[in-house]
C-alpha cells in the first residue's frame, strides 16, 4: 500500500496555508476535512472512501504504525497532543475527529467514547423463540473487545434475537446514548437492542410480555 508522508506544516488543502490552524478557533468542518485528508494521504486511499463511521482498523486495515503516523500528523497540523489513552481506544474516523475538535477548541481531552472510562454492564443475549431455548449472560466492563464479543454473541443468536444491556443507576443519558450508538449496527442485522439503567430495569416489561 503506497503512503504519502505529511510533514509538519504541510498544506492539507490547495490554497490553505498550514499556519491558518493557529489563527484562532478552528471550525468543525475544517478539522473534519483535514483529518479525512490526513488519513487518506497516509493510507494511500481516496478521501471519498472515508466517513465518520469508517473503522480505521477493520475497514481501512490500518496497523499500529499507521495509527501512530496519523496521530503525529494530526498533532503537527492542529498543534494539539492526542492523549495515548485516547489513541489506544479510538476506533473510527468520527472518534478521531471528535478528539481533535475537543482538543483544538479547549485544549482538554475529549469527552467522547474513545476516552471515557469503560462502562460496567450486565449483558444478556436471548435468541428468538418461545420458550427461549437458551440465554447468554455476562457482567463485564465495556471495552472495545467486549463490544466485539457481545456483538458476536448477538449476531450468533440469529435474526430476532435480543441484546439487553443494563448499566448502573449513576449512568447518564449521554452514556446510554453512546451505548446505543456502539451497537446500532445490530438493528440492521435483525437483532433487537435494549439499553437501560438499573433505575428503569425493574420497571421494564420483559421481552415478549403481553
The residue from 54, 76, 106 where one domain ends is 106
Residues in the chain, total: 210
Name the more confident of 16 and 84.
Answer: 84
Q: How many domains is the chain partitioned into structurally?
A: 2
68 with 29, same domain: the answer is yes
Same domain, 125 and 86: no
User: Which pLDDT band holds residue 120 (cuts at 50, 70, 90)?
Assistant: confident
Range list of H helices, the chain: 28-43, 64-78, 84-89, 93-106, 144-156, 173-182, 185-188, 198-201
Rounded distance between C-alpha atoms, residue 112 and residue 91, angstroms: 12
Q: Which of 13-22, 78-87, 104-113, 136-145 has the highest mean pLDDT?
A: 78-87
* 28 & 90 share domain: yes
- Reported as a single tens digit per residue, the pLDDT across 45-70 is 999 999 989 999 999 999 988 999 99
In a domain, 72, yes or no: yes
Same domain, 99 and 136: no
44 phi-psi bin (left φ>0, alpha ψ -120 to 50, beta other):
left
Q: Please give the C-alpha separations between residue 17 and each of 8, 30, 34, 75, in angstroms, as whole numbers.
A: 12, 12, 12, 16
pLDDT at residue number 117: 54
Residue 148 placed within a domain = yes
Residue 150 structural domain: 120-201
Q: Which residue has the higher pLDDT, 2 or 117?
A: 117
Q: What pTM was computed for the model?
A: 0.43
In a domain, 7, yes or no: no
174 belongs to a structural domain:
yes
User: Helix or strand or coil: residue 52?
Assistant: coil
pLDDT beyond 70 at 190? yes
Element (H, E) at 16: none
Domain shared by 71 and 140, yes or no = no
- pLDDT (tens digit per residue) in 20-47: 333 344 455 688 899 999 999 999 999 9
Name the domain boundary from 76, 106, 136: 106
CATH number at residue 61: 1.10.1200.10
The answer as to whether 114 is a domain residue is: no
Residue 70 confidence (pLDDT): 93
Q: Assign residue 175 a region (left: φ > 0; alpha: ψ between -120 and 50; beta: otherwise).
A: alpha
Q: Is the residue at 180 inside a domain?
A: yes
Residues 99 and 151 in one domain: no
The most confident of the ranges 73-77, 116-120, 161-165 is 161-165
Amino acid at each position: 500500500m503506497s503512503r504519502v508522508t505529511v510533514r509538519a506544516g504541510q498544506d492539507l488543502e490547495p490554497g490553505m496555508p498550514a499556519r491558518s490552524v493557529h489563527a484562532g478557533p478552528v471550525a468543525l468542518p475544517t478539522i473534519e476535512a483535514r483529518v479525512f485528508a490526513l488519513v487518506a494521504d497516509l493510507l494511500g486511499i481516496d478521501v471519498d472512501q472515508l466517513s465518520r463511521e469508517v473503522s480505521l482498523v477493520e475497514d481501512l486495515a490500518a496497523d499500529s504504525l499507521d495509527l501512530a503516523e496519523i496521530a503525529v500528523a494530526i498533532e503537527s497540523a492542529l498543534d494539539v497532543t492526542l492523549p495515548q489513552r485516547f489513541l489506544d481506544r479510538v476506533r473510527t474516523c468520527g472518534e478521531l475527529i471528535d478528539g481533535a475538535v475537543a482538543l483544538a477548541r479547549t485544549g482538554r481531552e475529549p469527552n467522547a467514547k474513545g476516552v471515557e472510562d469503560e462502562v460496567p454492564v450486565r449483558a444478556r443475549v436471548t435468541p428468538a423463540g418461545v420458550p427461549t431455548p437458551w440465554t447468554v449472560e455476562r457482567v463485564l466492563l465495556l471495552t472495545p473487545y467486549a463490544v466485539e464479543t457481545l456483538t458476536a454473541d448477538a449476531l450468533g443468536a440469529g435474526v430476532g434475537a435480543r441484546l439487553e444491556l443494563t448499566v448502573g443507576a449513576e449512568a447518564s443519558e449521554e452514556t446510554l446514548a453512546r451505548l446505543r450508538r456502539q451497537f446500532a449496527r445490530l438493528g440492521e442485522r435483525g437483532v433487537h437492542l435494549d439499553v437501560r439503567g438499573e433505575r428503569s430495569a425493574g420497571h421494564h416489561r420483559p421481552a415478549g410480555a403481553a
